[in-house]
Amino acid sequence: MRNMDPDLCIKLNEYTDLRNNLIELLKLDQTPDLKENASRALGFLEAWRSSVQFGATSFLDHFCPILLRPEYQLHTPGTHIVRMNHPGQLTVPFDPVFSVPGAPMRPILMEKVANKPVKRDILRETYTVNDGVVFCCIISSNDLVMQENAVLLRVEIVDADLPMTEQRSFVAGKTKGGISFDSDGSIWTNGKHHDPTDPIDKWTRNQDIGLEIDLNVVPRTLRFFINVRQLSRYVSNIPARVRFFATTILEGDWFQVKQLFIQDHPQGQYQAGETEMKQEDYMYDYTTGI
């Protein structure tokens, strides 16, 4: 499987139902060896299934999740999927770091946050991209549970220099260090929860959630997409150095990064009547705590 022809992978996805059959197998089969092989096969198929718009440069090969509780999380190298094998909300930031060219890396000096040790060793970035317009597409699902999560799913961005711990109550935008987009359609900025302005801004498992950051404009912006539909709200003054992240909550939860690429021009466009939410500078100042 490791040496499978990329064209064959694409044809398997396009002309057969193998992908869906593998997903169903992961839900039903309890044989460890077969389940592991199905998970590995699905990972290879998904790696080639991810599409990139014409003229863009993909960085999926540099996907590297930061597992803050590795005993509860599983990532098979070479795939873009992170799984949860234990209940409890966990934030999963991942590399690469996307940076404004020349933006300084701020050292992480804090030893603890909320009495939990800062994971400085694993927060060291593995790959940095100094470029401007980045699109990330994430899909969340669960192999074991059919009903919706009682706790909201969450995706978003964090400051790449944020001191992070394994603290499960962390919500970027509620605390300092980033912005969160919840599955009920709400957005967290400046320590506040902003309700959705449109019911269709809610999202669920198995939907493509797109995040687009533009580091070329002043102020820097973050825009949101649900199945390619652009939301009428966006956040400005995002960090100069950014990591994307997703959350896992229930046992069996997983997320996949389907797309992660630099593009020449943003997909997000100005919309009449759209709402700007400006993140204040103090949200990236950790000298007095998080």
Domain boundaries, the chain: 1-49, 52-284
Higher pLDDT, 114 or 28: 114
Query: Cα–Cα distance between 149 and 51 in angstroms, integer?
Result: 28
User: For residue 34, what is the DSSP state?
Assistant: H
Query: Cα–Cα distance between 127 and 238 in angstroms, integer?
Result: 20
Query: Cα–Cα distance between 285 and 290 in angstroms, integer?
Result: 8
Give the Cβ contact number of residue 15 at 10 Å: 8
Structure tokens at 18: 């193998």
Tell me, what's the pLDDT at 92? 96
Q: Given the DSSP bridges, would you call strands 209-214 and 81-84 parallel, antiparallel or unpaired?
A: unpaired
pLDDT tens, residue by residue, 269-283? 888 899 999 999 999
Tell me, what's the pLDDT at 215? 97
- 117 residue type, one letter: P
Largest interatomic CA distance in the chain: 56
pLDDT-above-70 percentage for the chain? 87
Tell me, what's the pLDDT at 53? 62
Using the predicted structure, report yes or no on whether residue 119 has a pLDDT greater than 70: yes
pLDDT tens, residue by residue, 67-78? 999 999 999 998
Name the pLDDT band for 9 (thresholds 50, 70, 90): low
Tally of helices (H runs) and strands (E runs) in the chain:
4, 19
pLDDT tens, residue by residue, 76-96? 998 999 999 988 889 999 999
In contact, 263 and 112? CB cutoff 8 Å: no
Query: Cα–Cα distance between 190 and 172 in angstroms, integer?
Result: 9
Using the predicted structure, report yes or no on whether residue 41 has a pLDDT greater than 80: no
Tell me, what's the pLDDT at 52? 53
Give the E-state strand segments of the chain in sequence order.
Answer: 57-58, 64-65, 73-74, 81-84, 90-99, 112-113, 116-117, 128-130, 133-142, 154-159, 178-182, 187-189, 192-194, 209-214, 221-226, 229-236, 241-248, 253-263, 275-278
Name the pLDDT band for 21 (thresholds 50, 70, 90): confident
Contacts of 28 (CB under 8 A, 6+ apart): none
Using the predicted structure, report yes or no on whether residue 148 has a pLDDT greater than 80: no
Using the predicted structure, report yes or no on whether residue 6 has a pLDDT greater than 60: no
pLDDT tens, residue by residue, 171-190? 999 999 999 999 999 999 99
Structure tokens at 64: 């590297």
Using the predicted structure, report yes or no on whether residue 264 has a pLDDT greater than 60: yes
Using the predicted structure, report yes or no on whether residue 160 has a pLDDT greater than 50: yes
Tell me, what's the pLDDT at 235? 98
Comparing CA positions, the residue from 246, 82, 97 lying closest to residue 180 is 246
Comparing CA positions, the residue from 45, 138, 39, 50 lying closest to residue 94 is 138
Using the predicted structure, report yes or no on whether residue 209 has a pLDDT greater than 70: yes
Q: For residue 81, what are the β-bridge partners?
A: 256
Tell me, what's the pLDDT at 98? 98
> Which overall architecture, per CATH, does domain 52-284 show?
Sandwich (2.60)
Tell me, what's the pLDDT at 29? 56
Burial status of residue 102 (CB atoms within 10 A of its CB: 0-12, 13-18, 19 or more): exposed
